[in-house]
Structure formats: structure tokens, C-alpha cells
Amino acid sequence: MELIDHSYLDITAIDISPDMLKKAKAKFEHSSIKFLEMDAQNMKFSKDSFDCIIASLTLSVVPEPDTCLREMTRVLKKGGQMIIFDKFSPKNKDLSLPKKFLRPIIRVLGTDIGVNFEELLLKNNQNLRIEEDKPVMLNGMYRMIIMTKIC
């Protein structure tokens, strides 16, 4: 957000953590961004509310990524774009043995290194079309996925 001129955009940012919202508000104190305390798995927005949704490190930290993806799709307008930046298990591969061992420990710390995006999308096919899916960090563990809501 720091790298773009967002003064002409109507931006709403949500987080379930008051502390994270406080940090975000301080970072963007002179902006028109609306900051709301809200659970991404149960958003209080109407259906088809947003032209674009950006979810950065969200699906790997929420307790129910399936529910979160359905909610994001619900509030996205037809033709709108969803941009996801997150860590996912490797595409078309199982987690390595060390990651399988570490997954429950890391999950207790608040993140899941074993979320499989392909399975998540297959289970929750919410009329989303993948436009771009590219690895961005750590040999593909982090990916940027851009999707369009088709209906």
C-alpha cells in the first residue's frame, strides 16, 4: 500500500486483532482507509460489496481457510479480482517430511504451512478463475494468486 497512490480509492481493511489494526492505523494515519475489527471468516459486508480483495497471509492463519475463501468470494463482485499472497504447501507435491513434522508445532504458533491451495479451491469452487499463479518466495512456498469471480 505504501507504494501506490491510494488517495482516490475507497479502501476497507479488516483484521480480527485490535493490536494489528492499531499498527495499521498508525502506519496509514493520514489516509482515508477504513479499518474495521472483523473476522475474515464471518464478514459483516453485504454480498458483492467489493471490486477487489487483497488477502495477504490470511488463509494460512485463519482457523478455517475454507470458510474464509467462501466469505471472500461472497463479498467480491462478479468480475472482481481476488489477489492472494500466502504460504501454501507445494503444488502437486506432498509436504516434505521435516515440514510434516513441524506443521503441528508451527500451527500452534499461529500459521499453517500445510494449506494446499489447489485442494482449497477444488473444495470451494466459488466461481473463481485463476488468472495468475506464481511463486514469489522461498522456492514456491509463498505464492501470489490472482483470480477473477466469474459469476
Give the tens place of pLDDT for each residue, 86-145: 999 878 777 778 888 888 877 878 888 778 899 899 887 768 999 999 998 877 678 999
% of the chain surpassing 70 pLDDT:
96
What CATH number is associated with residue 135? Answer: 3.40.50.150
91 φ, ψ (degrees, to nearest 5)? -65, 130
Q: In the structure grid, which three cell numbers stand for residue 122, read together?
A: 477444488
- The reply to whether 34 and 50 lie within a common domain is no
* Residue of higher predicted confidence among 22 and 3: 22
Distance CA 144, CA 56 (A): 9
- The reply to whether 53 and 115 lie within a common domain is yes
Give the tens place of pLDDT for each residue, 45-56: 999 999 999 999
Domain range for 100 is: 46-149
- The reply to whether 57 and 31 lie within a common domain is no
- The reply to whether 13 and 71 lie within a common domain is no
- The reply to whether 97 and 123 lie within a common domain is yes
Q: In the structure grid, which three cell numbers stand for residue 102, read together?
A: 513441524
The pLDDT value given to residue 4: 67
- The reply to whether 25 and 52 lie within a common domain is no
Contact 87, 58 (CB under 8 A): no
Measured CA to CA in angstroms, residue 78 lies from 10, 86, 129 at distances of 18, 23, 11
The pLDDT value given to residue 148: 97
Q: 479480482: which residue's cell?
A: 81
- The reply to whether 27 and 83 lie within a common domain is no
- The reply to whether 118 and 50 lie within a common domain is yes
The pLDDT value given to residue 126: 67
- The reply to whether 51 and 34 lie within a common domain is no
| Domains held by the chain: number | 2
- The reply to whether 61 and 108 lie within a common domain is yes
- The reply to whether 117 and 92 lie within a common domain is yes
